Amino acid sequence: MNRSVLIVGFVLFVAMLGSNLPAPLYELYRVRFGASTFAMTVVFAAYPLALVATLIGFARLPDAIGRRPVLAFGIAAAALGSIVFAFANGVPALLAARLCSAVAIGAIGAAGPPALVELDAAQDRRRAALVATFALSLACGVAPFVSGVLAVTAPSPFVLPYVLHLVLCALAAASLALVPETRSAVVRDAAVAPRLTGLARRAFIGATLTSGIIWWLASLFVSILPAFVGTLLGARSPALQGGLALIVFVVSPLAQTFGRGISDRVAARAGLIGTVVALAALLGAVPARSLALFALGSVVAGAAHGLGYLGAQSLVNRVSPPAARARLSATFYAMTYVCIGVPILAVGALTSHVGLYVALAAVATVVALAALVLAAALPRAVRLPGEAAVNLTVR
């Protein structure tokens, strides 16, 4: 693995770190600003939904101006988001900061995965997927844990995490000077964008929905479940809540590492089935009043996320032709975040009528059924673009 691949992985890590730092602080923000639970749910859900529009806007930009400038713009937006968070004085400021984070991840999501494939000397799509999924997953675990610990130990818990993130943003921006541009002539000169057809299109849709489901599960640990744990299980420490999120996002990259030898379809199916098991454990922890069962569900959720996301990202890399990598990567992330945002908003809206537990159980049941159907529907095999039997054409 060369230096440039590691740098782009670091850029992905730093951008995702910034978007997850406020996770264990939302309840503290709610109390500080006198906001409702639904208002804080909207603050969280505004991010994935705004990210969809951002990703659509950035879909073709890496092909137009290059991967490196878009990555640099993403880091700049991540830094701006941390600055806004550090000076936030109300819910509107939190929304503005979340929008900056959405722009950051939109840029990184469009340019990062294609750059990783192109920077790898062997164009190893599975290895590129592993770097991307490892960086993003680890950031999602480290961020809430660090800010959660600082919330109970630091004198300025609403400022210090973002100052630390700004330092990392500066390092990431400087390191991009060492990364060569990978936008190829075939991308610059393509008059007609390649489109997926047949089995490749079905595989792409399946991978995207898989990513959406397993990321929705993971997003619960940085959105709804901290309040869930605090209200229903009596664990109100931000550090403990951040620790539960850390379990998921430490197990996730470990699962990715140990699962790198299995096929994309098997990994994706394991992630979907694991999601169902994890949801059952998390919901069962409440009537059992068991933090141990909740922690077990967190471990299963981490393994499901790691395998499912690796399989989905690798499959997208596998079916994406060079001239469409950025566009398909942006579409993949955009639809993933639609799948995250809509169910979270549904939980938030239902909570005021039926309570948090019933709302989460209802939405989780729908997601679990969708996961089982999708696991059965994933195509059995998809070959690389350019191979004899691949269902991929340019039109």
Furthest C-alpha separation in the chain: 62
pTM as predicted:
0.77
Q: Which amino acid is at 123?
A: Q
Q: If pLDDT is split at 50, 70 and 90, which confidence band does 170 have? A: very high
Are 321 and 204 in contact by the 8 Å Cβ rule? The answer is no
| Choice among 26-35, 120-129, 237-246, 380-389 with the minimum mean pLDDT | 380-389
Are 374 and 272 in contact by the 8 Å Cβ rule? The answer is yes
Are 392 and 385 in contact by the 8 Å Cβ rule? The answer is yes
How far, in Å, CA of 22 to CA of 96, rounded?
13
Considering the chain, what is the average pLDDT of its residues? 83
Residue 224 has pLDDT above 80, yes or no: no
Which of 167-171, 176-180, 378-382 reaches the highest mean pLDDT? Answer: 167-171
Query: What's the pLDDT score for residue 186?
Result: 45
Which of 72-81, 109-118, 355-364 reaches the highest mean pLDDT? Answer: 72-81
Span 246-251, average pLDDT: 82
Structure tokens at 239: 């550090």
How far, in Å, CA of 324 to CA of 62, rounded?
10
Express each pLDDT in 380-391 by its tens digit: 655 544 444 433
Span 257-273, average pLDDT: 89
Query: What's the pLDDT score for residue 387?
Result: 46
**C-alpha triplet 290, 294, 295: angle, nearest 5°:** 115
Query: Can you name the residues that pair with 195 across neighbouring β-strands?
Result: 393
Query: What's the pLDDT score for residue 234?
Result: 61
E strands, the chain, are 195-196, 392-393
Q: At what angle do helices 26-33 and 225-232 cross, to 10 degrees?
A: 80
DSSP label at residue 340: H
Query: What's the pLDDT score for residue 391?
Result: 37
| Choice among 202-211, 219-228, 284-293, 331-340 with the minimum mean pLDDT | 219-228
**C-alpha triplet 309, 79, 46: angle, nearest 5°:** 55
| Choice among 16-20, 68-72, 199-203 with the minimum mean pLDDT | 199-203
End-to-end CA distance of the chain: 34
How far, in Å, CA of 349 to CA of 292, rounded?
29
DSSP label at residue 23: G
Which carries the bigger pLDDT value, residue 30 or residue 161?
161
Among 174, 121, 229, 167, CA closest to 18: 167
Phi, psi at 315, each rounded to 5°: -65, -40
Span 21-29, average pLDDT: 83
Query: What's the pLDDT score for residue 395?
Result: 31
Residue 323 has pLDDT above 80, yes or no: no
Query: What's the pLDDT score for residue 226?
Result: 65
Are 395 and 203 in contact by the 8 Å Cβ rule? The answer is no
Residue 192 has pLDDT above 60, yes or no: no
Q: Does an H or E element contain 393, and which?
A: strand 392-393
Q: If pLDDT is split at 50, 70 and 90, which confidence band does 242 have? A: low
Alpha helices in 289-324 (DSSP H): 291-319
Q: If pLDDT is split at 50, 70 and 90, which confidence band does 191 have? A: very low
Span 33-47, average pLDDT: 77
Q: Which amino acid is at 190?
A: A
Q: If pLDDT is split at 50, 70 and 90, which confidence band does 295 have? A: confident
Burial of 365 (0-12, 13-18, 19+ CB in 10 A): middle
Among 135, 159, 50, 150, CA closest to 101: 50
For 10, 30, 51, 87, 309, the CA distances from 143, given in Å and listed in that order, are: 14, 19, 19, 19, 19
Query: What's the pLDDT score for residue 40?
Result: 77
Q: Which amino acid is at 359?
A: A
Query: What's the pLDDT score for residue 308?
Result: 93
Q: Percent of the chain at pLDDT above 90?
A: 31
Q: Which amino acid is at 139?
A: A
Class of domain 3-393: mainly alpha
Express each pLDDT in 45-57 by its tens digit: 677 778 888 888 8
